[in-house]
Amino acid sequence: MILRPVLRLAASAAVLTALSGCALLSSPDPVQNYRFGLPMAAPSAVGDTPAPLTVSIRRIEFPQATGDDKILGVTGLETAYIGGARWVSPASTLFDDSLKAAFANRADRIRVLGRREPGTPPLILQVTVTTFEARYAAPGAVPDVVVTARAQLRSTPERRAGGGTIRPEEGRSVERVFTVTQPAGDNRVSAIVAAFDTATRDINTQIADWTIASAN
């Protein structure tokens, strides 16, 4: 596997600037596209009885360095993008699709509202991904894929009798940080991508189950 050096981390602002600039230097090597995060099993069938819970999922927030189609590797204070490999869509989009799929597998317990559906959703879920990288203990070692996300669930208070204004601050809010570390098994692109796939499905399954448990 080829890692294309990006920079040494001196300051966070410099990191983002340099990483963004590196994307302009395209590799002459053939590029293989990958995806991650889709469920292994088909979503559960939806019966005639509507789900007891509904939730609106806000747009996923992702770090600038890993939210696009490049795959980031980290060794200590040094970062590099994995050469010859790209996500088929921005990582933030694939992660969002995976999270919705996790909820779709629980359609008998919770329904995800479309972002353009009218009305005030009773539950609002905001997921912020803070870490999405292949982490190396040493150059050339077998990496661990690390995915960390903060989930915040807010309930919207019911409108008062007589048409009073809904006050968001009166709603309940809970949050939790989730972290999944998935060994790649080998220092090859295919193994690293498989670890991203497993880690993403795992963390989104945890987020969906936590959302249902927290709402009850």
Cα 22 to Cα 16: distance, rounded to the nearest angstrom: 10
This prediction has a pTM of 0.80
* Single-letter amino acid code for the residue at 15: V
In angstroms, the CA 75 to CA 137 distance is 6
Residue 175's domain comprises: 3-25+36-157+170-215
Q: Which two tokens stand for residue 10?
A: 């001196």
pLDDT digits (tens, 9 = 90+) for 58-78: 999 999 999 999 999 999 999
Q: Residue 82 falls within a domain, yes or no?
A: yes
CATH code for the domain of 105: 3.40.50.10610
The 10s digit of each residue's pLDDT in 121-156 is 789 999 999 999 999 999 999 999 999 999 999 987
Q: State the Cα–Cα distance between residues 188 and 169, nearest whole angstrom.
A: 48
Query: What count of other Cβ atoms lies within 10 Å of the Cβ of residue 145?
Result: 27
Instruction: Tell me if 136 is assigned to some domain.
Output: yes
Quick: pLDDT tens for 163-176. 444 444 456 889 99
Q: Is residue 193 part of a domain?
A: yes
Task: Tokens for 43, please give them.
Answer: 């979503």
Structure confidence at residue 1 (pLDDT): 53
Q: Is residue 94 part of a domain?
A: yes
Q: How far apart are CA 101 and CA 160, in angstroms?
A: 34
Is the residue at 64 inside a domain? yes
Q: Which helix (H) or strand (E) element contains residue 3?
A: strand 3-8
What are the start-end ranges of the H helices in 23-111? 91-104
Question: For the chain, what is the domain count?
Answer: 1
Please check whether residue 190 lies inside any domain of the structure. Answer: yes
Is residue 74 situated within a structural domain? yes
User: In whole angstroms, what is the distance from residue 88 CA to residue 35 CA?
Assistant: 6
Q: Is residue 117 part of a domain?
A: yes
Do the Cβ atoms of 155 and 122 come closer than 8 Å?
yes
